[in-house]
């Protein structure tokens, strides 16, 4: 056993459980690739200012949860706590918006880091798949992303999730709501840290999950009562498009997201089987973020879905993913000549697209067959000196135990036929 352990709040992904995480990532990415989204990958760390500007200096993410450090050269960097700011920074830096084909549609997958109290379903290192549509103000884009996330979840077999939907207004109508909300919040019995947020960003107070705070917020003014005509019409179009696609949702007038850059459409995917940490993903429109980062006006929308939390939701529903075995054929050589011949066949099978493994280490027949069973292989190839003298190998069907000789020269074609 190693003297080292994974840092607190992190985890290792190991087989066979890691296969479920890979399957979830693929299921989320598949509808994005089919809808014009190209893959983007950004560094695991960025300049601190990127997140302070984009995510918001008043958010817990920036003030309490971000892993920030100073390099030997004096640069202030941070491990990325979320994906949107990095993706938009990369798109602006590469001038993707100047190619004349807006929106720029991108998807990404990776690990993110936040220093928070570890608990089930909430870690300091977590995995997300995200999507961003940059450079177009169109309710159909908002609807598209919500529909694609719903499609991804349903392709995995998830059923007991809900989509919460709200509008946060824009720079035209939110100031009036902000003032009304500040007046309301200043009359409440709140701690000093929360009262500080009233002046910086009062919407963050609405996102406070503490029961004693939520109880006082029951009578808080609702943003939907302050929406301008443009935001109302935009939100209604999003609702109509989602509904027409057969995607169910719930209007949640109190829904706000934990990041400062959201405007208009905001949404969250929740699963009640996860307890208090019920969110499995979410996102929304962020029309002013590009300008916050020093870029041109590029209205945009996106989401991020938690891979870890999606796996927990699948377990809560008892959904077993149909994950193919890592190995279809396991070769068991008996003797040096068989070792050379079967290793060559394993290489040939792999080139033909068949998942194949080999009994390494010179173990005996009994130990090699145990390894074949553990691998989950459907077939075993067994050969000794007598088999090779006859020009055959023994093909064993692992589940039934049936075994028959197959010509060595024909075994690859035979296995391809059997495996489809």
Domain boundaries, the chain: 18-173+227-317, 329-419
To the question of whether residue 82 is assigned a binding role by annotation, the answer is yes
To the question of whether residue 226 is assigned a binding role by annotation, the answer is no
Tokens of 335: 């003797």
Reported as a single tens digit per residue, the pLDDT across 295-344 is 999 999 999 999 999 999 999 999 999 888 789 999 999 999 999 999 99
Between vectors from CA 391 to CA 388 and to CA 397, what angle results, nearest 5°?
Answer: 80
pLDDT value for 63:
67
Q: What percent of the chain has pLDDT over 90?
A: 74
The contacts of residue 333 (CB under 8 Å, 6+ apart) are: 339, 341, 342, 343, 358, 359, 383
Reported as a single tens digit per residue, the pLDDT across 262-285 is 889 999 999 988 876 789 999 999
pLDDT of 381 over the 70 cut: yes
To the question of whether residue 26 is assigned a binding role by annotation, the answer is no
Q: Tokens 């920074």: give the residue.
A: 89
Superfamily of domain 18-173+227-317: Bira Bifunctional Protein; Domain 2 (3.30.930.10)
To the question of whether residue 84 is assigned a binding role by annotation, the answer is yes
To the question of whether residue 261 is assigned a binding role by annotation, the answer is yes
Measured in whole angstroms, the distance separating CA 171 from the mean position of its chain's CA atoms is: 30
Measured in whole angstroms, the distance separating CA 236 from the mean position of its chain's CA atoms is: 28
Specify the CATH class of 329-419 in words.
Answer: alpha beta
pLDDT value for 56:
61
Q: What is the DSSP letter of 96?
A: G
Tell me the angle at which helices 139-156 and 307-317 cross, rounded to the nearest 10 degrees: 50
Look at residues 34, 320, 52, 325 and name the one whose alpha carbon lies nearest to residue 152.
Answer: 34
- CA distances 34 to 44, 215, 281, 322, 393, Å, are 27, 44, 20, 21, 43
**pLDDT (average), residues 101-105:** 94
To the question of whether residue 83 is assigned a binding role by annotation, the answer is yes
């Amino acid at each position: 056993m190693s003297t080292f352990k994974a840092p607190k709040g992190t985890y290792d992904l190991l087989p066979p459980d890691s296969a479920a995480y890979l399957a979830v990532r693929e299921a989320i990415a598949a509808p994005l690739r089919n809808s014009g989204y190209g893959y983007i990958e950004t560094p695991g760390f960025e300049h601190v200012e990127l997140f302070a500007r984009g995510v918001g200096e008043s958010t817990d993410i920036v003030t309490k949860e971000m892993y920030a450090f100073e390099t030997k050269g004096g640069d202030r960097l941070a491990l990325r706590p979320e994906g949107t700011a990095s993706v938009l920074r990369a798109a602006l830096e590469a001038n993707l918006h100047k190619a004349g084909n807006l929106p720029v549609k991108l998807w990404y997958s990776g690990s993110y880091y936040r220093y928070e109290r570890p608990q089930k379903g909430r870690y300091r290192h977590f995995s997300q798949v995200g999507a961003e549509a940059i450079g177009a103000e169109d309710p159909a884009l908002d609807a598209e992303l919500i529909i694609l996330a719903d499609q991804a979840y349903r392709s995995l077999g998830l059923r007991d999730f809900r989509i919460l939907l709200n509008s946060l207004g824009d720079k035209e109508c939110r100031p009036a709501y902000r003032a009304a909300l500040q007046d309301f919040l200043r009359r409440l019995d709140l701690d000093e840290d929360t009262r500080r947020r009233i002046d910086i960003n009062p919407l963050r107070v609405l996102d406070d999950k503490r029961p004693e705070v939520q109880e006082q917020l029951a009578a808080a003014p609702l943003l939907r009562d302050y929406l301008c005509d443009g935001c109302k019409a935009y939100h209604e179009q999003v609702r109509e498009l989602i509904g027409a696609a057969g995607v169910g949702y719930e209007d949640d007038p109190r829904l706000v997201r934990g990041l400062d850059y959201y405007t208009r459409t905001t949404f969250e995917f929740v699963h009640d089987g996860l307890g208090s940490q019920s969110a499995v993903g979410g996102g929304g429109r962020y029309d002013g973020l590009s300008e916050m980062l020093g870029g041109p006006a590029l209205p945009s929308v996106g989401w991020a879905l938690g891979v870890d939390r999606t796996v927990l939701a699948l377990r809560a529903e008892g959904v077993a993913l149909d994950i193919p075995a890592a190995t279809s054929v396991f070769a068991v050589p008996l003797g040096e000549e068989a070792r050379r011949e079967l290793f060559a066949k394993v290489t040939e099978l792999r080139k033909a697209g068949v998942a194949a493994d080999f009994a390494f280490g010179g173990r005996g027949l009994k130990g090699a067959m145990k390894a074949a069973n553990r691998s989950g292989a459907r077939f075993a190839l067994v050969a000794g000196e007598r088999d090779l003298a006859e020009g055959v190998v023994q093909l064993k069907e692992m589940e039934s135990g049936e075994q028959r000789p197959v010509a060595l020269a024909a075994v690859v074609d035979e296995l391809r036929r059997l495996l489809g």
